[in-house]
Amino acid sequence: MKRKKIIRRVLLALVVGLLFMVGNTLYVAGVFKTIKPHFTGTEKSVPILGGAEDITIDQTTGIAYVSADQRRATFQDKKNPVQGTIYWVDLNNPAQAPVNMLPNFKKDFHPHGIYFYRAKSGKQLLFAVNHAEKNTIQSIERFEVQGKKLVHLNTIQHELMTSPNDVVAVGENEFYVTNDHGFTKGFGRTMEEYLRLPLGYVNYYDGKTMKTVSSNITYANGINVSPDGKKLYLASPSTRRVLIFDRKADNSIEKVTSVTIGTAGDNIELDAQGNLWLGCHPQMLKYAAHAKDPKKKSPSQAIKITVKGDNQYEVSEIYLNDGTSLSGSSVAAVYKDNLLVGGVYDRKFLWCKMK
């Protein structure tokens, strides 16, 4: 009898533990979140030929660069993937249509995270994560911005970049890149996501070689650097946090704190004051369903993290919709009173005017 009681207690503990884990996963995924659309301002939809997964803005000129790719079309036919591109958008001239910056680019190109970098020399560069279907090793493509065109400079590949997500440049040839998963595909990747296993990491490239500078991160997603270059920001959507690192003189990084944002943050952009803006997925399971079926809508959200002082931050929700205007928001980028919100799959982005 005593043995049976012990077995019952063990089984009960396992059941309770499993229910807690499932409940916590559903909570973190936003299943119980109530969506109340709001935004103080106006918005318009700007059509492009692919999902605007990432947007980066030159705060000096007000030119936005939009990463666009038809991911569903590529998933359906990987032997004949639809070419992705980068768009040029003038935020000072709303009447100007977005311009395709790579109309004749021959290299297999499927951009993910991107970053605009203005060097001290005045050179303007664009770095892009490229999930080229014909490459077994993922890459970073490096371009020079020449007006409304991009000139391809070089391709950087390394065995550490197995699942790159976003990139931030800290020099003409140097950058940090996130690796969002430890597993690249299959059942292992699925389990990594649903169990929220900390298998992601951050790599640093010094212009010649690459090394891992931070590991054991749950879904290492969007990344950016503070204007003074001393802080590195990293979105961890599965933990609903933004991790804050101190950046050392040798380009190593050390985590100092994290900011709980209560939602799944994707890409991170900075405004002219150095505040953080994130496109977010408030309901992750709806986003997963939307990824498979465009008829299923996924709410879109933009939040702002105001830098109040050294390791002091304030989170505010600026924009929220139920997926009707745009589904699956992955980026929010700001220039003056302009707020651009892009999504992974919808072939458009939102151009909002904030009051």
According to the model, what pLDDT value does residue 41 have?
Answer: 96
Q: In what order do the strands lie in the sheet with 51-58?
A: 51-58, 63-69, 85-90, 99-100
Q: What is the mean pLDDT of residues 6-32?
A: 60
- Tokens 């299959």 belong to which residue? 186
First to last CA, the chain: 71
Partners of 306 in the β-ladder: 314
Q: What share of the chain is helix, strand, coil (3-state, %, to 5)?
A: 15, 45, 40
Which among 137, 214, 138 is positioned nearest to 176, based on CA atoms?
A: 214
66-79, pLDDT tens digit by residue?
999 998 887 777 77
Q: Work out the pLDDT band at 193, boundaries 50, 70, 90.
A: confident
87-117, pLDDT tens digit by residue?
999 999 999 999 999 999 999 999 999 999 9
Percent of the chain having pLDDT more than 70? 90
Domain-wise residue ranges, the chain: 1-32, 38-354
Q: What are the backbone dihedrals phi and psi of residue 296, each rounded to the nearest 5 degrees, phi first?
A: -90, 125
| Active-site residue, from 110, 112, 131, 281 | 112
pLDDT at residue 24 tops 70: no
Any idea which fold 38-354 has?
Neuraminidase (2.120.10)
Q: Report how far residue 91's alpha carbon sits from residue 336's, in angstroms, rounded to the nearest whole number.
A: 9
pLDDT at residue 279 tops 70: yes
pLDDT at residue 141 tops 90: yes
Q: Work out the pLDDT band at 80, boundaries 50, 70, 90.
A: confident
pLDDT at residue 192 tops 90: no
> For residue 276, what are the contacts with CB-CB under 8 A and spacing of at least 6?
224, 233, 242, 268, 269, 270, 304, 305, 307, 313
38 is known as an active-site residue: no
Which among 256, 277, 269 is positioned nearest to 168, based on CA atoms?
A: 269
Instruction: Decide: 220 and 233 in contact? Cβ < 8 Å.
Output: no
According to the model, what pLDDT value does residue 188 have?
Answer: 84
Q: What is the pTM of this model?
A: 0.91
C-alpha dist (Å) from residue 162 to 141, 154, 176, 209:
15, 19, 14, 15
